[in-house]
Amino acid sequence: MNKRASEINEQSTWQELTTGCEIYEAGTSKLTLTGEWRSKIPVWDAEKCRHCMLCTPFCPDSSIPVTDGKRGDFDYDHCKGCGICYTVCPFGAIEWKEVH
């Protein structure tokens, strides 16, 4: 049986790998802390947010948590600062700031 990419490690046998070592799952940074890569940071303003969830599906790193239909603050351990969330927010609830 083939393992998911997240389950493959140095002890995996060749029989456990997918043909051609192809990856059949979404590519996110959940397994690696990549937040330190960014040069700009999104800052969420909860007062302006209307929880329309437009930002959530656009985040390529799944860095916008949602609980009970409400979005939470960013997962900065994984956010690379691509700015997509800032661009798609129709309410101006996300600011774009330089990392110091």
Q: Is the pLDDT of residue 6 over 90?
A: no
**Residue appearing with tokens 């985040």:** 59
**Residue appearing with tokens 């960013």:** 74
What are the pLDDT digits (tens) for 39-89? Answer: 899 999 999 999 999 999 999 888 999 999 999 999 998 898 999 999 999
Q: Evaluate if pTM is beyond 0.75.
A: no
Q: Is the pLDDT of residue 29 over 60?
A: no
Domains and CATH numbers, the chain: 1-27 (no CATH), 32-98 (3.30.70.20)
Q: What is the pLDDT of residue 34?
A: 76
For residue 87, the tally of other CB atoms under 10 A from its CB is: 11
**Residue appearing with tokens 């947010």:** 49
> With left for phi above 0 and alpha for psi between -120 and 50, is residue 5 left, alpha or beta?
alpha
Q: What is the pLDDT of residue 21?
A: 72
Query: Of 46 and 37, which is predicted with more confidence?
Result: 46
C-alpha to C-alpha distance for 51 and 85, rounded to whole angstroms:
13
For residues 42 and 83, the answer to whether their CB atoms sit within 8 Å is yes
